[in-house]
Amino acid sequence: MLAFPAPSDHGTSVCKTKVSPCLQRLPFKPHSSRHLNYNHTTSLSAKITSSHKTNLTWHCRSKTRYFLPPSLCGNTSNTLSASDDSGSSSGRSLRGLVEAVGEGISTAFPIWVALGCFLGLVRPDSYNWVQPKWTMMGITFTMLGMGMTLTFDDLKGALAMPKELLTGFCLQYSIMPLSGLFISKILNLPSYYAAGLILVGCCPGGTASNIVTYIARGNVALSVLMTAASTVSAVIMTPFLTAKLAGQYVAVDARGLLISTLQVVLLPVLVGAFMNQYFKGVVKFVSPLMPPIAVATVAVLCGNAIAQSSTAILMSGQQVVLAAVLLHMSGFFFGYFVSRILGVDASSSRTISIEVGMQNSVLGVVLATQHFGNPLTAVPCAVSSVCHSILGSALAGIWRRMKPETQEVKHDP
């Protein structure tokens, strides 16, 4: 989370949090609470005392910006002047209902993906309507939604926590690709499964990791920045690592992977961030709809990948599931303990573990479908989406019952 005061003579501010350390940044106008999916503005003289679940208290008469998921924010309703509250109460109620439904659907993300894959396995003809071009459109739209949760200031904010961000980035693109290679060799996977497992290991962090990080009492701000950093750098890292590690199994079109990753990852994220920076009204209007649409898109794309190879999966699916489980367990395990060894605090280590362990598997599905001749190459990517969602959610549930170490930060402007 982000919380900071602007220089002021009007008073002092204190931030106490057990959720994550404060991240210092420049003042932002207007005074606002920035959520993962939308913004709301509070009064300039703010006194915010959140519930015991957030362990965050703040009192400040200077301009302050908060970076919190909606359900963590203690100031859940606007405190603007009466002139700003003249809008229709029914409209606010409808928006609140849409947001609540969207958050509920997003929280149940593993269930929807599992149901989509199960349907593809038992009723593959249910996905006959899915066209190849729709897979590219689906992942592009999903990444656009992720970009709408960011601003260019957020992308620059990585400079404020270089140690944690660099640690997560290095682990993201070392542990997972190498684990994919080693697990493929240990289990003696067929070439098409090995290539798919390595491909998903070379993909960036998944967008669902932000939600899982919140549930696990991790550092949500770091999670968003890590996802953004790994996603933007995936334009280079994913094609390069896949070509180097999976090239021994199948022919890899590195140039094609580079172009596709640029089209479906970098450009949509930058467009989304641009819209959030300069077209806030549009983003505020569509943002409640983005999470459920993204979840539905991922469920359909993963289910379609399973449906295309359902017969082969029923014959040898156990080997693929085992490989995917081992891949993500290695990411969660090494992501946490290596971070702790390097001196990263417990909350941020949880975040790094989740970011490393949870991959953008649907990107792997799209790249495998577009650039590998055998459709079975996409199977490990689709299975991975179910495995990392279930494992990540279970780990978050355990960590939620174990509060990370307390950190108190005081500011005297």
Q: pLDDT for 39-57, tens place per residue?
A: 333 433 333 333 333 333 3
Residue 413 has pLDDT above 50, yes or no: no
The C-alpha atoms of residue 106 and residue 100 are separated, in whole angstroms, by 10
Which tops the pLDDT comparison, 290 or 241?
Answer: 241
Report the pLDDT value the prediction gives residue 339, as an integer from 0 to 100: 93
Q: Are 68 and 102 contained in the same domain?
A: no
The C-alpha atoms of residue 105 and residue 116 are separated, in whole angstroms, by 14
Is residue 46 assigned to a domain?
yes
Read off the pLDDT band of 330 (50, 70, 90). Answer: very high
Is residue 310 assigned to a domain?
yes
CATH number, domain with residue 190: 1.20.1530.20
Q: Domain end: 44, 77, 110, which one?
A: 77
Q: Are 49 and 20 contained in the same domain?
A: yes
Is residue 59 assigned to a domain?
yes
Read off the pLDDT band of 95 (50, 70, 90). Answer: low
CA distances to 61, 116, 157, 273 from 162, in Å: 30, 38, 9, 21
The C-alpha atoms of residue 212 and residue 155 are separated, in whole angstroms, by 21
Q: Are 173 and 46 contained in the same domain?
A: no
Report the pLDDT value the prediction gives residue 324, as an integer from 0 to 100: 92
Determine which of 73-82, 114-123, 134-143, 373-382 has the lowest per-residue pLDDT on average.
73-82
Q: Are 64 and 188 contained in the same domain?
A: no
What lies within 8 Å, CB to CB, of 378 at 6+ separation is 196, 305, 308, 309, 364, 365, 368, 369, 372
Which tops the pLDDT comparison, 166 or 33?
Answer: 166
The pairing of beta strand 46-49 with beta strand 57-60? antiparallel
Q: Domain end: 47, 77, 107, which one?
A: 77
Report the pLDDT value the prediction gives residue 22, as an integer from 0 to 100: 36
Provide the residue type at 111 as one letter: I
Q: How many CB atoms lie within 10 A of CB 180?
A: 33
* Residue range 62-87, pLDDT digits in tens: 433 334 444 444 433 333 333 444 44
Q: What is the 3-state secondary structure (H, E, C) of the chain?
A: CEEEECCCCCCCEEEEECCCCCCCCCCCCCCEEECCCCEEECCCCEEEECCCCCCCEEEECCCEEEECCHHHCCCCCCCCCHHHHCCCHHHHHHHHHHHHHHHHHHHCHHHHHHHHHHHHHHCHHHHCCCCHHHHHHHHHHHHHHHHCCCCHHHHHHHHHCHHHHHHHHHHHCCHHHHHHHHHHHHCCCCHHHHHHHHHHHCCCECCCHHHHHHHCCCCHHHHHHHHHHHHHHHHHHHHHHHHHHHCCCCCCCHHHHHHHHHHHHHHHHHHHHHHHHHCHHHHHHHHHHHHHHHHHHHHHHHHHHHHHCHHHHHHHHHHHHHHHHHHHHHHHHHHHHHHHHCCCCHHHHHHHHHHHHCECHHHHHHHHHHHCCCHHHHHHHHHHHHHHHHHHHHHHHHHHCCCCCCEEEEECC
Is residue 186 assigned to a domain?
yes
Is residue 411 assigned to a domain?
no
Q: Domain end: 77, 110, 144, which one?
A: 77
Q: Are 289 and 151 contained in the same domain?
A: yes
Q: Are 358 and 216 contained in the same domain?
A: yes
Read off the pLDDT band of 106 (50, 70, 90). Answer: low
Is residue 392 assigned to a domain?
yes
Q: Are 22 and 156 contained in the same domain?
A: no
Q: Are 27 and 154 contained in the same domain?
A: no
Q: Angle 186-191-193 (CA atoms, 0-180°, nearest 5)?
A: 75
Domain of residue 65, residue span: 2-77
To the nearest whole percent, how much of the chain has pLDDT over 70? 66
Mean pLDDT of 98-114: 72
Is residue 48 assigned to a domain?
yes
Residue 303 has pLDDT above 90, yes or no: no
Report the pLDDT value the prediction gives residue 179, as an integer from 0 to 100: 94
Report the pLDDT value the prediction gives residue 154, as an integer from 0 to 100: 62
* Residue range 137-193, pLDDT digits in tens: 777 777 787 778 767 676 666 567 788 889 999 999 999 999 999 999 999 998 889
Which tops the pLDDT comparison, 90 or 100?
Answer: 100
What lies within 8 Å, CB to CB, of 262 at 6+ separation is 235
Report the pLDDT value the prediction gives residue 180, as an integer from 0 to 100: 93
30 cis-preceded (ω within 30 degrees of 0) = yes
CA distances to 335, 344, 353 from 163, in Å: 14, 8, 15
Q: Are 207 and 250 contained in the same domain?
A: yes
For the chain, what is the radius of gyration of the CA atoms? 21
Q: How many CB atoms lie within 10 A of CB 71?
A: 16
Q: Are 349 and 239 contained in the same domain?
A: yes
Q: Angle 401-405-410 (CA atoms, 0-180°, nearest 5)?
A: 130
* Residue range 225-259, pLDDT digits in tens: 787 788 878 888 888 898 888 876 666 666 776 77
Average predicted confidence (pLDDT) for the chain: 71
To the nearest whole percent, how much of the chain has pLDDT over 90? 14
The C-alpha atoms of residue 284 and residue 35 are separated, in whole angstroms, by 11
The C-alpha atoms of residue 294 and residue 17 are separated, in whole angstroms, by 31
Paired residues of 65 in beta bridges: 4, 32
What is the edge-to-edge ordering of all strands in the sheet holding 13-17? 46-49, 57-60, 13-17, 407-411
Q: Are 149 and 186 contained in the same domain?
A: yes
Question: What's the total number of domains in the chain?
Answer: 2
The C-alpha atoms of residue 40 and residue 412 are separated, in whole angstroms, by 26
* Structure token pair of residue 408: 């108190």
Is residue 86 assigned to a domain?
no
